[in-house]
Chain A
């Protein structure tokens, strides 16, 4: 029984990592930028969700607003920060991204205060039981939300014109352009989708924890980097699998290795172990 719950809790955490990390891997796949400020957009999504829910009383409206606003914010980050740096070496964009992330965290603290914000009335507090397995409605929302979002993303990539354009641009931007694909538009849409996913993850975490803080992005910022490396940089499917696997490993690690290994260290021990055996990542083709 304990093991069923541990795996389930691991999958819940893993699906949160997945939604964040997939956005990161989309950006990396397209532009070869390690987009650390992604975690700042995740935090922004969480703040918007809590503030709009408290103002209007409607969680769905708040989540919608969060994804739209943060999606646009992501496009602005691309336009104002990354685009001018595209012809520089990749570490320039990485340093800029880290700078933006720190700037965002401190701005949240100045604007919203250091104590963090909560929903006026806690959201999704019911308990769902299926046979002997029980979980909080917020946990279920995280699982279902991740499945819906990631399936939607999968369909978008496989079945739509945008998906074809995106994949073509990732494979060979020059060739894609010569076939009439607007690769600049692809980049904007890419940032919109990636950032909207981060916002959705932020909203789900806000509901789960009933707490949104300026620094809530700091752990996801580096852990999702570990995940996309594990998944084979730029590989969406691999990122998903790595996120879920890490979630489950962490769940077990918390219980059986917690006395000597910090939960946040587990991701990196796992990362080092995998890179020693498979330097291209768990799921990348050679």
Chain B
């Protein structure tokens, strides 16, 4: 009997439903790559979302109930997100889920959450298939294609340049941006001289730099992340390449400027966060984030914050019924750190593209592309 008692106790513990009574909190699920190759973005996304939750709780929560962010590490691996999506649904019983992860994991989780009928917001993953999983899936970040189109408009309309070399990271991020850029390039009379790719772990671009130099473009359109872009831009400038470099939201981190140093000056990026915005939501986010985490804001933090803000606003309006939350997101307009967001029939966000330039080691406003017709994401 003595031997059996501990086992019995274990069995009872195991069979007992859930732990704390769930009535006094509203749970929002969250996953991001907190370890592994994308841990930098995971940390930013998490901090952004945590800030949104902390602010909402300080303002009284949802109908007097505290909001709890249930955070899981997806390690940037799609195979991890399916079990953790199921965990969020079955064990944590969350009302809504926010993805602070990349396209792979987010794409894997979307059908699971769709089947369970739990609203799912992707903060900055860009793969087009994510929202196609169904009507419970939304994206608060820009689609790659949309941002690529904005890049082409920036090159032709704002900079009045034509000869472009594309140097893109060879994953869905780079491919989607390149596709969007190339889709509208002929319309703007942009000539693409050469197209190259590099891998996400690449930091040394010597051969590419030599080739770009030989092509002698006016503009280098270079989709990548800050950890690629920092060394790439520094190496291009060190080799004497003077063409204008156009980056995307992947560059949007103070770390890019620290890595590339002086070479980052004059680099122009299309992104979601306007550092010079006067909108109260954006200003409050930038100030509070820098105070709370003693670090500079970046695009990923702003996107994580915006997605969580939409989730919280929908919960406030609709309560915890998933269908009502979905309808509230679909019908609503949300004031966030990355501007005012509303969604189309597919769940894609409708918003302006921020164009920022690096000046005196900071991102500043260069222009805003707000032709929403030109930027319209697909409806199905």
Residues of A within 8 A of B (CB): 1-2, 5-6, 8-10, 12-13, 16, 106, 109, 113-116, 118, 122, 125, 127, 134, 136, 138-139, 205, 208-211, 213-216, 218-219, 250-252, 254-255, 258-259, 262-264
Please, which residues of chain B bring their CB within 8 A of the CB of A136? 235, 238-239
Question: Chain B: how many interface residues by the 8 Å CB criterion?
Answer: 40
What mask results when residues 223 to 238 of chain B are scored 1 for a CB within 8 Å of chain A, else 0? Answer: 0000100110011001
Known: A5-B210, A262-B199. 5 other contacts (CB 8 A): A109-B35, A114-B43, A118-B255, A254-B196, A263-B202
What mask results when residues 259 to 271 of chain B are scored 1 for a CB within 8 Å of chain A, else 0? Answer: 1111000000000
User: Which one of B42, B201, B209, B261 lies within 8 Å of A114 (CB-CB)?
Assistant: B42
Majority DSSP secondary structure for residues of A touching B: helix
Provide the bound-state CA to CA distance between A209 and B256, in Å: 12
Chain B stretch 196-228: residues in CB contact (< 8 A) with chain A: 196-199, 201-204, 206-211, 213-214, 227
Q: Is B170 an interface residue (CB 8 A)?
A: yes
User: Which one of B213, B230, B238, B260 lies within 8 Å of A127 (CB-CB)?
Assistant: B238
How near does chain A come to B235, taking the closest CB pair, in angstroms? 7
Asked if A251 and B207 sit within 8 Å, CB to CB, the answer is: yes
User: Which one of B199, B203, B209 lies within 8 Å of A211 (CB-CB)?
Assistant: B203
B298, closest chain A residue (CB): A115
Please, which residues of chain B bring their CB within 8 A of the CB of A113? 43
Most A CB atoms within 10 A — which of B204, B211, B231, B235? B204
User: Which one of A1, A9, A214, A254 lies within 8 Å of B39 (CB-CB)?
Assistant: A214
Asked if A125 and B198 sit within 8 Å, CB to CB, the answer is: no
Asked if A211 and B206 sit within 8 Å, CB to CB, the answer is: no
Asked if A255 and B208 sit within 8 Å, CB to CB, the answer is: yes
How near does chain B come to A230, taking the closest CB pair, in angstroms? 20
User: Which one of A6, A118, A215 lies within 8 Å of B207 (CB-CB)?
Assistant: A6
Provide the bound-state CA to CA distance between A255 and B205, in Å: 11
Asked if B40 and A115 sit within 8 Å, CB to CB, the answer is: yes
User: Which one of A210, A214, A215 lies within 8 Å of B230 (CB-CB)?
Assistant: A210
Provide the bound-state CA to CA distance between A263 and B199, in Å: 7
Provide the bound-state CA to CA distance between A106 and B260, in Å: 25
Provide the bound-state CA to CA distance between A23 and B368, in Å: 52
A218, closest chain B residue (CB): B201
How near does chain A come to B211, taking the closest CB pair, in angstroms? 5
Indicate whether A13 sits within 8 Å of B196 (C-beta atoms), given known contacts A125-B238, A210-B261.
no
Provide the bound-state CA to CA distance between A218 and B40, in Å: 16
Asked if B207 and A10 sit within 8 Å, CB to CB, the answer is: yes
Asked if B203 and A216 sit within 8 Å, CB to CB, the answer is: yes
A211, closest chain B residue (CB): B259
Provide the bound-state CA to CA distance between A191 and B225, in Å: 36
A265, closest chain B residue (CB): B199
Asked if A255 and B196 sit within 8 Å, CB to CB, the answer is: yes
Please, which residues of chain B bring their CB within 8 A of the CB of A262? 170, 199
Asked if A252 and B259 sit within 8 Å, CB to CB, the answer is: no
Q: Is B195 an interface residue (CB 8 A)?
A: yes
Provide the bound-state CA to CA distance between A251 and B259, in Å: 23
User: Which one of A12, A216, A264 lies within 8 Å of B206 (CB-CB)?
Assistant: A12
Provide the bound-state CA to CA distance between A264 and B37, in Å: 16
Please, which residues of chain A bring their CB within 8 A of the CB of B214? 1-2
Please, which residues of chain A bring their CB within 8 A of the CB of B207? 5-6, 9-10, 250-252, 254-255
How near does chain B come to A135, taking the closest CB pair, in angstroms? 8
Please, which residues of chain A bring their CB within 8 A of the CB of B261? 122, 125, 210
Please, which residues of chain A bring their CB within 8 A of the CB of B230? 118, 209-211
Provide the bound-state CA to CA distance between A148 and B259, in Å: 28
Asked if A2 and B211 sit within 8 Å, CB to CB, the answer is: yes
Indicate whether A251 sits within 8 Å of B206 (C-beta atoms), given known contacts A115-B40, A116-B255.
yes
Please, which residues of chain B bring their CB within 8 A of the CB of A106? 35
Please, which residues of chain A bring their CB within 8 A of the CB of B64? none
Provide the bound-state CA to CA distance between A251 and B35, in Å: 31
Q: Is B83 an interface residue (CB 8 A)?
A: no
Chain B stretch 108-145: residues in CB contact (< 8 A) with chain A: none
Provide the bound-state CA to CA distance between A110 and B198, in Å: 28
17 A–B contacts, CB within 8 A, in A order: A6-B211, A8-B206, A16-B204, A113-B43, A115-B43, A139-B206, A209-B259, A210-B234, A211-B227, A213-B40, A213-B227, A216-B203, A251-B206, A255-B208, A255-B210, A258-B197, A259-B195
